[in-house]
A and B are shown apart, each in its own frame.
Chain A
Amino acid sequence: MKTLDRILKSINTIPAFPATGNKVAQLLTKPDYSVNEVAGVIKFDPSITANILKMANSAYFGPRHKISNINDAVVYLGQQNLLRAIQTAGVSKYYKKGAPGYFDKVTDLWEHSVAVALMSQIISKKVTGHEDTTLYTAALLHDVGKIIMGEFVRDSLVKISALVSTQNVSFLEAEESVIGINHAELGGKIAAYWKFPTEIIEAISFHHRPDLLEKEEKMMPWMVYIADQACLMLGFGGGVDGLSYRAVSQVLKKFNLRMKDLEMSMVLLSDDLNHAKEIISII
């Protein structure tokens, strides 16, 4: 079987994405939802329940009293944070084995993903004035393609690295030319298999090249792009691909950001990450 076919086939071996997030999101749209109903849906998944309690008690969400049951967590976190916590808890299990081939340490991919998700919210607040749960999920999942691509990258690393170092080719382009697909596009296919909305699928597929997505007005791929680049620069979860990705220089202008804004976002991110240790530790 050709490599590309093997890769595409292995998407079907990934377990289905936990439905808890979608179910809770649907409940929250009803004007008369009850805390008990929401807690009931969450409790159905014990691993998500345990992780939400851990996260709700983290310094990042900063509770004054210990939160010991899901009902309290639902009330304390509020809608936005609750959805983010559920998605984080749901995504974490796919990152447990890391992405050998890209990273030395098994936790590197997860740490990078959480950092990009937190950074996406800092950027979103700066640009639009508010946080965005859908963007958070897209950012958390932007590199999900690497969980499958890892072993193929490892097998072809000599060829890929040679292209990157001698031909002025980005890591993404080298993946595509050597393996037949890149990790962003593959990630988009995984998100589609999980039935995520188009917005999230596109943000994942185009997270290194938002300029190639024809629907120029879409903000999400650009936000994930800039959050990812900032984290790569900071060394949060840099792997064999390092910083070998193309600069898409329109991004700062598009969001009317100055260099100083980007630097300030990095300062804010380092504070968030100090408080997010429990979130990172859930895998």
Chain B
Amino acid sequence: MSDLIVGISDIKVSNNAGDVIITYALGSCIGIVVFDPIAKVGGMLHYMLPESSLDQNKARENPEMFADTGIPLLFKSCYKLGADKKRMVVKAAGGASILDDTNFFRIGQKNIMAMRKIFWKNNVMIDKEDIGLNYNRTVRLEISTGKVFVRTSGGEMKEL
């Protein structure tokens, strides 16, 4: 039984019922959580930027950094542990922005759009999300139950 910490540009997956997967301090970055309730396999991605075209060398070295390379890798990593796409529950948190964020620093919104585009193309539904606004989030996934909790900075843990 252990806490698996997902860093920035990182993925953790598990099929060990005792594990809890956690990522801290999502700002404009997005945390994607997937869980197969039958196989009891879960995983979490913490990506930083929308598109790998920004720096393809970096994307090869660290695909978890970008939405378009990280999201497929998250799913594949879960398939390896026996998860099935049809059964997978998908949740997302993060993508916050600074105030009056109309025409610059749009990384939060771009990250949200990138995620929607990828899921839409691949016929994946996002079951629950807590995204946007302007606060940081911590996300927890319990492998034993598949429950996902989100905590905003200074606030309380709430189930997503």
Q: Give chain A's interface residues, CB within 8 Å of chain B.
A: 104, 157, 161, 168, 170, 229, 232-247, 249, 251-252, 259-260, 262-264, 266-267, 270
- Whether A244 contacts B153 by the Cβ 8 Å rule is no
Docked complex: B69-128 residues within 8 A CB-CB of A: 96-108
- Whether B27 contacts A270 by the Cβ 8 Å rule is no
> Cβ of B20 < 8 Å from any Cβ of A?
no
Chain A residue nearest to B59 (CB atoms) is: A267
B66 to chain A: closest CB distance in Å?
9
Of the candidates A157, A245, A249, A264, which one forms a contact with B102 in the assembled complex, judged by CB atoms under 8 Å apart?
Answer: A249
- Whether B29 contacts A235 by the Cβ 8 Å rule is yes
- Whether A264 contacts B97 by the Cβ 8 Å rule is no
> Cβ of B135 < 8 Å from any Cβ of A?
yes
Q: With A104-B153, A235-B29, A264-B54 as given contacts, are A246 and B65 in contact (CB-CB < 8 Å)?
A: no
Q: With A243-B96, A260-B54, A264-B55 as given contacts, are A233 and B135 in contact (CB-CB < 8 Å)?
A: no
Of the candidates A104, A233, A245, which one forms a contact with B99 in the assembled complex, judged by CB atoms under 8 Å apart?
Answer: A245
Complex-state Cα separation, A236 to B25, whole angstroms: 7
Chain B residue nearest to A208 (CB atoms) is: B98
- Whether A238 contacts B104 by the Cβ 8 Å rule is no
Chain A residue nearest to B154 (CB atoms) is: A240
> Cβ of B60 < 8 Å from any Cβ of A?
no
- Whether B55 contacts A243 by the Cβ 8 Å rule is no
Most buried by A among B26, B29, B136: B136
- Whether A246 contacts B100 by the Cβ 8 Å rule is yes
Of the candidates B8, B100, B103, B153, which one forms a contact with A242 in the assembled complex, judged by CB atoms under 8 Å apart?
Answer: B153
Of the candidates A238, A241, A251, A266, which one forms a contact with B48 in the assembled complex, judged by CB atoms under 8 Å apart?
Answer: A266
Complex-state Cα separation, A77 to B144, whole angstroms: 50
- Whether A243 contacts B27 by the Cβ 8 Å rule is yes
> Cβ of B9 < 8 Å from any Cβ of A?
yes
Residues of B close to A259: CB separation below 8 A: 104, 106
Complex-state Cα separation, A246 to B101, whole angstroms: 8
Q: Name B's interface SS.
A: loop
User: What would 26 A/B residue contacts be, using CB atoms closer than 8 Å?
Assistant: A104-B153, A157-B154, A161-B154, A232-B98, A233-B27, A233-B28, A234-B8, A234-B27, A236-B25, A241-B153, A242-B27, A242-B136, A243-B27, A243-B99, A243-B108, A246-B100, A247-B104, A249-B103, A252-B104, A259-B104, A262-B105, A263-B54, A266-B49, A266-B107, A267-B48, A267-B55
- Whether A243 contacts B49 by the Cβ 8 Å rule is no
Complex-state Cα separation, A246 to B105, whole angstroms: 11
Q: Give chain B's interface residues, CB within 8 Å of chain A.
A: 8-9, 24-29, 48-49, 54-55, 58, 65, 96-108, 134-136, 152-154
A227 to chain B: closest CB distance in Å?
12
Beyond A247-B98, A266-B107, list 14 extra A-B contacts (CB 8 Å). A235-B29, A242-B27, A242-B96, A242-B134, A243-B27, A243-B96, A245-B99, A247-B99, A247-B105, A249-B102, A259-B104, A263-B54, A263-B107, A267-B65
Of the candidates B24, B49, B58, B134, which one forms a contact with A244 in the assembled complex, judged by CB atoms under 8 Å apart?
Answer: B134
Complex-state Cα separation, A243 to B25, whole angstroms: 11
A172 to chain B: closest CB distance in Å?
10
Complex-state Cα separation, A208 to B107, whole angstroms: 19
Complex-state Cα separation, A183 to B25, whole angstroms: 21
Q: With A233-B107, A242-B135, A243-B136 as given contacts, are A267 and B58 in contact (CB-CB < 8 Å)?
A: yes
B1 to chain A: closest CB distance in Å?
23
B96 to chain A: closest CB distance in Å?
5
A252 to chain B: closest CB distance in Å?
5
Residues of B close to A263: CB separation below 8 A: 49, 54, 107
